[in-house]
Chain A
Amino acid sequence: MKKSYLNLITALCLLAFQQTATAHHSTVGQIEETSIEIEGVVKEFQFKNPHSWIQVMVTNDDGSETEWSVEWLIPNILMRQGYNPATFRPGDQVRVKLRQHVSGSPMGEFDGALKADGKIVGRWE
């Protein structure tokens, strides 16, 4: 699994962007301020209310696999931003930037993704 840390300024800017992502439930004190990056294969894009989830299978250094749950905005807002259920397809190779839960669980809030075809989803800086 690859991890790299964004700079703090970028992360703080993303806080404002993420307000609506966390509106359905509180994430106060639960989410790291800096982003990490994972690389894997999309298992499923759950384009459902009240929040969408991108399930990504990541191969660890020891060869085992971990399923990451990456929470994104409500589908309604995504539709207005030009995204749809086909934005991520099962089998897509992706690099995903997310702010992980402080518990260390394989989950977090979506910041952006870079797909194998070079397309950027969300923010990729």
Chain B
Amino acid sequence: MACLAPTGASAADLPAFSELPDWSGTWSRRGDTVFDHGTWTLNGVPADPNSPGASVSAPGTRANPPYNAEWEAIYQEHLALRDAGLFPDPLTRCISHGFPRIFNALAPVEFVVRPEQTWILAEHTRATMRIYTDGSEHPPVEERWHNFYGHSVGHWEDDTLVFTTVALKGWRDHDSVLDRSGLVLSDQAHATTRIRRTLEPNSNGTMEDLLLVEITLEDPVALTAPWVVEKRFYREPSGTRIFDYECNEYNRAIVDENGRSLILDEEGKVLNY
């Protein structure tokens, strides 16, 4: 009975803890919460690229996901809904980010590096993503369960974690998006991600730790070419904690059939319409 994913490496083949990079502590993304930076807005207004939290890419430059015509039309529809405040973001319904949106999460994340797995633990939506580095492979195509985080396997290339992700939900159920702009891919999307730690000079002239995340997205259904996106995470001061985040604890916002976000009082009465 095949209950476990096949493993191609024995414990002896895995790197020792001491050989793995130090990614301890908590890390916060800098920059915006979208992948297509040129379409980023604040409260419906095109964002000033010089404002706090703005994009790390060239100001005002759309990163241009290479959609085919069909999926470009879907994207434009979503952007229009976003600008009208009517895009039904799954996050409003407390649905977890999924991959790769986990790298757009608002709050800090942790990267737990072990020889056989790396865990990405995001505070926002209590997200956990597991990347198996034990030599196992992706399940056969016909056995794949498409879900929010998919299935990830990888390996180490010196200090760089390289992993591939398959079996994502995509937009098949209209509940998994890449960011708040409504960027979506199909359930045939797959990705190759490279994460490495480096140092970057800050405004004080000192060096600070940076985890550079580079994701190459491919989708034979939605994209005409691979699309490379990047996110940057900086190490928070020692002692920075991850807090609990149960989105359903007291969610006073719901989305109606028209995509409107309704705010409720304690009796369930709609306050804002």
Q: Say yes or no: B94 contacts A26, CB within 8 Å.
A: no
List 5 tightest A-B contacts by C-beta distance, closest first: A28-B85, A48-B250, A28-B44, A25-B261, A25-B253
Query: When chains A and B are docked, how far (Å) is the Cα of A24 from the Cα of B249?
Result: 14
Query: When chains A and B are docked, how far (Å) is the Cα of A79 from the Cα of B239?
Result: 13
Query: When chains A and B are docked, how far (Å) is the Cα of A49 from the Cα of B45?
Result: 26
**Is B120 interfacial (CB 8 A cutoff)?**
no
**Is B86 interfacial (CB 8 A cutoff)?**
yes
Residues on the A chain within 8 Å of B20, using CB: none
Query: When chains A and B are docked, how far (Å) is the Cα of A24 from the Cα of B86?
Result: 13
**Is B123 interfacial (CB 8 A cutoff)?**
yes
Q: How far is the CB of A36 from chain B (nearest CB, A)?
A: 16
Given A16-B53, A28-B85, A29-B85, verify A79-B243 contact (CB < 8 Å): yes
Residues from 93 to 114 in B contacting A, C-beta threshold 8 Å: 94, 106-107
Supply 12 A–B pairs (Cβ within 8 Å), ascending by A.
A24-B92, A25-B92, A26-B92, A26-B261, A28-B82, A28-B83, A49-B245, A50-B250, A53-B252, A67-B265, A77-B107, A101-B271
Residues on the B chain within 8 Å of A80, using CB: 240
**Is A74 interfacial (CB 8 A cutoff)?**
yes
Given A15-B43, A50-B251, verify A30-B85 contact (CB < 8 Å): yes
Q: Chain B contact residues (Cβ within 8 angstroms of A): what range? A: 35 or more
Contact count A vs B, C-beta below 8 Å: 105
Q: How far is the CB of B54 from chain A (nearest CB, A)?
A: 9
**Is A6 interfacial (CB 8 A cutoff)?**
no
**Is B195 interfacial (CB 8 A cutoff)?**
no
Q: How far is the CB of A58 from chain B (nearest CB, A)?
A: 15
Which B residues form the contact surface with A (CB < 8 A)?
33, 42-45, 48, 51-53, 82-87, 89, 91-92, 94, 106-107, 123-124, 180, 240, 243-247, 249-253, 255, 261, 263, 265, 271-273
Closest-by-CB residue of B relative to A28 is B85
Given A27-B261, A49-B246, A76-B107, verify A16-B51 contact (CB < 8 Å): yes
Query: When chains A and B are docked, how far (Å) is the Cα of A107 from the Cα of B264?
Result: 10
Q: Say yes or no: A23 contacts B180, CB within 8 Å.
A: yes
Residues on the A chain within 8 Å of B85, using CB: 26-30
Residues on the B chain within 8 Å of A25, using CB: 89, 92, 253, 255, 261, 263
Q: Say yes or no: A46 contacts B106, CB within 8 Å.
A: no
Q: Say yes or no: B123 contacts A76, CB within 8 Å.
A: yes
Q: Say yes or no: A48 contacts B249, CB within 8 Å.
A: yes
Given A16-B52, A28-B44, A46-B250, verify A74-B87 contact (CB < 8 Å): no
Residues on the A chain within 8 Å of B82, using CB: 26, 28
Given A23-B106, A28-B43, verify A76-B253 contact (CB < 8 Å): no
Q: How far is the CB of A3 from chain B (nearest CB, A)?
A: 19
| Among candidates A22, A50, A69, A71, residue contacting B247 with C-beta atoms closer than 8 Å | A50
**Is A4 interfacial (CB 8 A cutoff)?**
no
Query: When chains A and B are docked, how far (Å) is the Cα of A46 from the Cα of B82?
Result: 28
Residues on the B chain within 8 Å of A10, using CB: none
**Is A103 interfacial (CB 8 A cutoff)?**
yes
Residues on the A chain within 8 Å of B43, using CB: 15, 18-19, 22, 27-28, 31
